[in-house]
Amino acid sequence: METSTSPINVANMLDKLGIKAINPGTSTGLEFHNSTELITSYSPVNGESIAQVSVTTPEQYEAVIQKADAAFKEWRNVPAPQRGELVRQFGDKLREYKEPLGQLVSYEMGKSYQEGLGEVQEMIDICDFAVGLSRQLYGLTMHSERPGHRMYEQYHPMGIVGIISAFNFPVAVWCWNTALAWVCGDSCVWKPSEKAPLCSIACQNIFNMVAKENNVPEGLSCLINGDYNVGELMTNDKRVPLISATGSIRMGKIVAQTVASRLGKSLLELGGNNAVILTQNADLQMVVPALVFGAVGTCGQRCTSTRRLIIHDSIYDKVKETLIAAYGQLRIGNPLDENNHVGPLTDVDAVNTYLKALEAVKAEGGKFLVEGGVLAGEGYEGGCYVKPAIAEVENHYSIVQHETFAPILYLMKYSDINEAIHMQNDVVQGLSSAIMTDSVREAELFLSAQGSDCGIANVNIGTSGAEIGGAFGGEKETGGGRESGSDAWKVYMRRQTNTINYSTSLPLAQGIKFDL
């Protein structure tokens, strides 16, 4: 399956990951399920069909949920440090398969090979974090108002965790959730994006190796494939107490309403419209590479991609010229070629969305400093390659207020730091933000309660590239969810308050008397 535009042997890569057959019988993690409806995975690198995956039917979904429920009831009784040992071994197995899995992420989704490897490294990092966490699922002890009583809080496994992931991080976001859920005692059912189904099968195959070696219950990690209809089977299912969904704001609102209607829990990671404030006190030589990577990394398809650059008017022209020059040096092409900076958009629909956004910018009065457009010809045959663009705009433009998953960077001016913060906050999304400055006062103002209203606020680093040690997520229409580090583990468990009476009497709380 090696192609003229790919520096890797695709068939060999798939074989290493246990994806041996290009046919309808693709594993869902439990067994080989066949159905008449198929998903074809196309590579945005060259437009070629990689493989076909069968869509999970309602009957197959029911079998998966029953297996996942049975696995949970067994797994919750395994001591948490032993659960952590399984995750440790999974992390080691990911180290072993890092190269082919990183290649598959790049080839099926379109991000650069280095970013593909980085995504697998995120999986390894969260496994390491979860191993330590397995010995720290702590509660609290409180003093009771009643003599001879003790109060404390503890956390118990919740049940089945349903994970709905997006195409742009086809493996890492799943692992953010599942590594924590496993050490918390939960089982997981994963509905990956239909745009990158092979990445999920590869992950499941890698986990199956570890599961077999440890004789863990079948159904601890399950995979269902298909479009939103398959996802709706989970969001409507009362047997799935938590749905962790990553995707668009539109999708998140549907998931939130559906899960809330059955009083379930949602962990939502939705859209971002991320801005960097560039002050007159910034070290431009240091920050420009971060600005460019934030805007064009993953071809602008990160939820944390830099979309708006708010520049102090005293340095605006200089920054503009610097960025134009930097964009002129970008190498766009096959993401598996490590000489290239930017790979393709993920599919034809993404290209069309990008083109519509370019037209909308012009229609609203924006001026392009670096023109966009589709790339064709030698080296781009069959792929979804576009030019990263830069436009001068106003923050209130409708297209600027929306998130476009494409490499379009919007430039705008400010004169006062409070004005800049207002512009940064004046969108419905609230995921990531950054300020570039050497001024302590500006930095601290940006991080204060009257500063950035985003879940992530950085100083002198870009908006993308979060580390797993901190909780990841955003406010407003980004959904309010938190994944990955810090105490994000608590969402995967149910909280319980316990009061123990070790006295010989039975006093009531609040001093109430009830004598018989």
Active site residues: 269, 303
Check if the beta carbon of residue 10 is closer than 8 Å to that of residue 189. Answer: no
**Strand boundaries in 96-146, DSSP class E:** 140-143
Q: Which residue has the tokens 């708006």?
A: 308
Question: Alpha-carbon distance 355 to 349, whole Å?
Answer: 10
- Tell me the CB-side half-sphere exposure of residue 376, using CA atoms within 13 A: 3
What does DSSP assign to residue 310?
A: E
- Residue 37's SS3 state is coil
Question: Alpha-carbon distance 106 to 404, whole Å?
Answer: 21
Q: Which residue has the tokens 């998140």?
A: 252
What does DSSP assign to residue 32?
A: B
Question: Alpha-carbon distance 378 to 204, whole Å?
Answer: 36
User: Which residue in 346, 431, 432, 353 sits closest to 399, CA to CA?
Assistant: 353
- Residue 505's SS3 state is coil
Check if the beta carbon of residue 409 is closer than 8 Å to that of residue 399. Answer: no
Residues 6+ apart with CB under 8 A from 420: 277, 279, 310, 312, 414
Secondary structure (DSSP) of 312-338: ETTTHHHHHHHHHHHHTT--BS-TTST
Burial class (CB in 10 A: 0-12, 13-18, 19+), 500: exposed
Q: H or E stretch including 482?
A: none
Q: Which amino acid is at 394?
A: E
Q: Which amino acid is at 326?
A: A
Please name every residue paired with 500 in a beta bridge, in sequence order, or none if there are none: 150
Question: Alpha-carbon distance 281 to 70, whole Å?
Answer: 59
Please name every residue paired with 41 in a beta bridge, in sequence order, or none if there are none: 51
Question: Alpha-carbon distance 47 to 90, whole Å?
Answer: 32
Question: Alpha-carbon distance 405 to 251, whole Å?
Answer: 15
Residue by residue, what is the 3-state secondary structure of 39-86?
EEEECCCCCCEEEEEECCCHHHHHHHHHHHHHHHHHHCCCCHHHHHHH
